[in-house]
Structure 1
Amino acid sequence: MRTGAAAGHTGYFHEAIRYDSDEHLLAVVVPFLLGGVDAGEPTMVAFGERNAGLVRAALPAGCPVEFLTGGEVYARPAGAIRAYRQLLAGHVAAGAGQIRIVGELPAEALGATWDWWARYESAINHAYDEFPLWSMCAYDERTTPVAVLADVDRTHPRTARPHGRHEPNPQYTEPELFLLENRPLVADPIQQGPPVVDLAGPTSAEAREAVRAAELDAARREDLALAVSEIVTNAGMHGRPPVRMRVWAGPGRAVVTVTDGGPGPAYPYAGLLPAAGDASAGFGLWIAHQTCSHVSLHRSPEGFTVRLVQREP
């Protein structure tokens, strides 16, 4: 049975918290968590160390709220979706009528890699909609860039506020529209110099070989080789010629772009969710999202570009 503001709702009840003080954050989060505990619902926090400490201190001693390791949960968008779907399915199988989670992205997600986290925030409106989930995503207005906050309003149907207020966001955009928009492509510093590899019409074997000289540890280098092979294969099978691959490399970092002359995948969730039975939905993109440090998708009059970034911590 659904409780609280989500009573009577079917599927995912997705809210943002835009807070401007610690007191503001706690005024929303603590009643949300205590309401879940009182209702006997699985109730979880996926915050970084600082905000998790604030919440722990504000909850009654012994309060059975589970604290997840937010940094591990939010390593990559596609991985977060996979992990949360497994977690939610387990609670539903155990009989949960509603699940409550409050979380926050790590600070680094709000910078140069925000494009794929914006896609994540939009895509989960669909990816979690089969579960009785009520979640809140916290964003600190004192430190979050204005452009990111604008995307927060567009990817969350509602905003949770103190005193039990839950307001619809007029700017909310359905994921089938939002995910096919061009996200701003932030130039990677390593791309200021010329590429070390520039291939026209590469085969998957040539693509793998081109990145094996990257100055990365063996595991990340092989993950990048797998991702590049998949993206080049996708470009040849589902894109349009010409296909061009370029590589920039430096100590502990490599950037690869693969461009073809086509419009890119029509499947909005490409990279974040595999589409069963539809090869054109980009299973290769999904693999790249599991193995790379950052993946950007960009459409232009010249065609469709996938940029893969692989870096060591």
Structure 2
Amino acid sequence: MAVSDPPGFVRAEAADVDAVARIIADAWCDLDQAAWLVPNRRERRTILGEVARIHVEHALFYGTVEVLRDGTAVAVWFDRHRPLPPPPDYESRLLAVAGSSSHRFVVLGKQLDMYREPAGYEHLAFVAVTPGLRGRGIGRMLVQHHLARLDRAEVPTYADAATNSAREFYRALGYSPTCAVTVPNGSRVCLMWRPVPAVEGGEDCRAENKSSGRTFVAVSAGKMTMARPMKVLTPERSPRDRFGARLRGLRLREGLSQNALARLIRHSPGIVGAVERAQRWPTRELAQRCDEVLGAGGELLILWPVVDKMREASDGRRRRVRRARSQ
């Protein structure tokens, strides 16, 4: 393994791919999501390792693969300052290594990508530690090493949490849950967002991302801090939830707080927050203004008619209940 940055961290090379993929497969193997991805337990570890190999090879070209010198922990990052292409011949390679399970990897990947922004951040795809060494803070140290570099460059990040313990792991590193994707067997993957840390200053501190040119906002009370935790959204629950999750994703992409977006669209922050949490119906005017301000290219207006039909159906049910009660 080629030496990169002290202390004890190295950047993986092509010769390290198999070892890195094995560590990831060991970490994946007992997850509920893995049980759905590869129902055959006897084949699960092998298939997970081969799929991980595809992604690790891809990260060597489009990101960073960092490990401890002794090979006991790994973190795989993708640089998504620009839209990330899929691995070459991805679906055919998946079919070759995963067989009848290959379509499940494709389905889950597409579900997660629906609620990530196409560009403007780094994505922590995998962090894994050799089973006998978990719980000692090794993974945290490895991730913190890379986050320190991203903070200096003012780059925000996404991560995916497949368990409650993983969610708490990322929370401790400054991530907040944004939405959760439900896998067909009922398990969930939570998307976690970590904005650029705020610097000392006022309530609405901004840091410009030098790579993407965007500005990402974090709320600060005077010293370096992270944005306040956000409610986990469930976009698969209904069209209204999907609209709210997409609105939040677009807002985060542009580095706007709810207060800042509300000022730009001439609405109250409470309305923006309630629409994101699917607690209030969005109007067509709100969808149009958000599209314009967030540069969404009409994406929210495309989602809005289905949401409005849901509102009409809900209003109709309430009217029928009121009539029945009055009789």
TM-score range, shorter chain: under 0.3
Higher strand share: 1
TM-score, structure 1 as length reference:
0.27
Higher helix share: 2
TM-score, structure 2 as length reference:
0.26
